[in-house]
Amino acid sequence: MGELGAHVLVIPFPTQGHINPILQFSKRLASKGVKVTIVATTLMSKSLPQLQKAAAASIQVDCISDGYNPDDNFSTVDECLARFNDVVPQTLTQLIVDKHLNSDHPPTVLIYDSVFPWAVDIAKNLGLLSAVFYTQSCSVCAIFYHFTQANLKIPSTHESSFSLDLPPLPALPSLKVTDLPSFIVESTESNPNIFQLVSSQFYSFGKADWIFFNSFDKLEEEVINWVLETKWAVKTIGPTVPSMYLDKKMEDDTEYGLSLFSPSTESCMHWLDSRGKSGSVVYVAFGSLASLGEDQMEEIAQGLKNTNAPFLWVVRASEEGKLPSWFKEETLEKGLVVNWCPQLDVLAHQAVGCFVTHCGWNSTLEALSLGVPMVAIPQWSDQMTNTKYVVDVWKVGVRVKVNNENGFFNRDEIEVCIKQVMEEGDEGNGHKIRQNALKWKKLAIEAVDQGGSSDTNIQEFVSTISLLNTQQGVDLY
């Protein structure tokens, strides 16, 4: 290694589910001696002091424009992506040229979120190496491959038949249309930029020097082996859950550190501490983006109430108006509703017995890492496929059944699923699910611990870029 360790630039996409994993990956790199500069964009600028604090001393933060003002909110991810694609290629290039290329410690690699496929060309044009970072599972990526690159189609005669079995796909479990990422099933008109993005993410595969997935080898063994044998040299580096919840090797790494929402930490933890019984609480949260209809909120509310179990329900401020008017008062004794919580602390709390989740990839990995059984209510994007794995492959949860005509679930189904997962005793499905959850927790820790598959992949990356760094100006440039 040269006197100065290698330097990497990291550009995240500014939604909570994309920032968390790439920031954690950055911390792991920094812990291995790499200098990291995170390139934040104006949408994140209000959180910059937090980011600065969260990122270790060896991580620096630069900010560029993404076309939004700091106080703006974007209305849809689709709109946000369109604005980013217009503005960020220029502002990122300008930052690298003006500030970094001729600095005392120029970067070697640009690490970019897979939603920015154009970043690989910026890196190449400026003489940097490139690493694409996927915040979805490898299985989801393989499915996108079949549908966008290998021309697989949902048979047209059955387009509305959600329960249809698809033909077998290599290294994937048998899938129904309901298990596919929503962007494949929905018309391209509803989310044109996202659909375009799904196809364009394969652009990076032929071009980027490294392909990282927030996953771990044992979790997706079959599909990862298939991808490695037939397609691309992907590397798993996850789960990107803070170290103190997993291998406990990085003492300062106790939380993600950057929250775009304000968590009610004290009231949540105090409330959980006051629940006596271990594994008795139902935790309900649907991540940072999902938006349920009023009628579906009502079904969850009724279902939760009918279980008679204590519950902690995260309802974002923007969703709160959809809660039934009777709910808070009638469930005061049993439940706590907050706008945002410290999810990792909640999942790690001994009082929590099950997680009613939308199965966003981060939430899924967090539940797996902390050994918490899941009741899955997927909403869109990759959540349907994550659910398929949760239920049928890893066997750590159940899926709430919906009406095939309108996609709605009802209160009875919510109640039955929660009771199934929480049922006491050493027999039955609940017991098996809890045993499996503990098995995956152990494997997740093994993957990131020293010498585990993800740790080895990160170490190899660090060794390679450190070597290149010492040769910079000699062999490479």
The distance of closest approach from Cβ of residue 422 to ligand UDP in the complex, given in angstroms and rounded to an integer, is: 21
441/447 Cα distance (integer angstroms) = 10
Looking at 206-214, 222-230, 273-281, 357-365, which segment touches ligand UDP (CB under 6 A)?
357-365
Q: Does 386 bind ligand UDP (CB under 6 A)?
A: no
Residues 259-288 that bind ligand UDP (CB under 6 A): 285, 287-288
Q: Are 275 and 310 in contact (CB under 8 A)?
A: yes
Q: Does 253 bind ligand UDP (CB under 6 A)?
A: no
For residue 70, how many other CB atoms are within 10 A of its CB? 12
The distance of closest approach from Cβ of residue 357 to ligand UDP in the complex, given in angstroms and rounded to an integer, is: 7
Instruction: Tell me the β-bridge partners of 133.
Output: 113, 212
Residues 326-345 that bind ligand UDP (CB under 6 A): 340-341, 343-344
Backbone angles phi, psi at 130, to 5 degrees: -135, 145
459/32 Cα distance (integer angstroms) = 8
Q: Which of 42, 362, 387, 457 binds ligand UDP (CB under 6 A)?
A: 362
400/120 Cα distance (integer angstroms) = 40
The distance of closest approach from Cβ of residue 345 to ligand UDP in the complex, given in angstroms and rounded to an integer, is: 9
Among residues 74 and 361, whose Cβ is nearest to ligand UDP?
A: 361
Q: 77-102 as b/e, with b when 16 or more CB fall inside 10 Å?
A: bbebbbbbbebbeebbbebbeeebee
Among residues 92 and 314, whose Cβ is nearest to ligand UDP?
A: 314
Q: Does 361 bind ligand UDP (CB under 6 A)?
A: yes
The distance of closest approach from Cβ of residue 339 to ligand UDP in the complex, given in angstroms and rounded to an integer, is: 8
Contacts of 98 (CB under 8 A, 6+ apart): none
Among residues 147 and 355, whose Cβ is nearest to ligand UDP?
A: 355
Among residues 25 and 361, whose Cβ is nearest to ligand UDP?
A: 361
DSSP assignment of 236-250 equals E------GGGTT---
Closest CA to 197 of 443, 369, 18: 18
Closest CA to 15 of 78, 92, 94: 78
Sheet hosting strand 335-338, strand order edge to edge: 335-338, 311-314, 281-285, 352-357, 374-376, 397-399
Looking at 11-19, 30-38, 76-84, 126-134, which segment touches ligand UDP (CB under 6 A)?
11-19
What's the token pair of residue 286? Answer: 């649907």
Q: Which of 6, 8, 13, 20 binds ligand UDP (CB under 6 A)?
A: 20
Q: Does 397 bind ligand UDP (CB under 6 A)?
A: no
For residue 454, how many other CB atoms are within 10 A of its CB? 29
The distance of closest approach from Cβ of residue 107 to ligand UDP in the complex, given in angstroms and rounded to an integer, is: 27
Number of residues that bind ligand UDP (CB under 6 A): 19
Looking at 14-22, 77-85, 137-145, 411-419, which segment touches ligand UDP (CB under 6 A)?
14-22
| Binding map of ligand UDP across residues 93-132, x = CB under 6 A, - = no contact | ----------------------------------------
The distance of closest approach from Cβ of residue 199 to ligand UDP in the complex, given in angstroms and rounded to an integer, is: 21
Q: Does 366 bind ligand UDP (CB under 6 A)?
A: yes
| Binding map of ligand UDP across residues 297-326, x = CB under 6 A, - = no contact | -----------------x------------
Q: Are 409 and 402 in contact (CB under 8 A)?
A: yes
268/210 Cα distance (integer angstroms) = 40
Among residues 20 and 215, whose Cβ is nearest to ligand UDP?
A: 20
The distance of closest approach from Cβ of residue 395 to ligand UDP in the complex, given in angstroms and rounded to an integer, is: 20
Among residues 164 and 348, whose Cβ is nearest to ligand UDP?
A: 348
The distance of closest approach from Cβ of residue 308 to ligand UDP in the complex, given in angstroms and rounded to an integer, is: 24
396/433 Cα distance (integer angstroms) = 5
Instruction: Tell me the β-bridge partners of 131.
Output: 111, 210
- The position carrying tokens 């990759």 is 382
116/425 Cα distance (integer angstroms) = 48
Q: Please write down the HEC assignment for all residues of 348-368.
A: HCCCEEEEEECCCHHHHHHHH
Looking at 202-210, 216-224, 359-367, 411-419, which segment touches ligand UDP (CB under 6 A)?
359-367
The distance of closest approach from Cβ of residue 282 to ligand UDP in the complex, given in angstroms and rounded to an integer, is: 14
Active site residues per annotation: 18, 113
Q: Which of 7, 16, 217, 234 binds ligand UDP (CB under 6 A)?
A: 16
Which of left, alpha, beta for 172 (phi over 0: left; psi -120 to 50: alpha)?
A: beta
Q: Which residues bind ligand UDP (CB under 6 A)?
A: 15-17, 20, 285, 287-290, 314, 340-341, 343-344, 360-363, 366
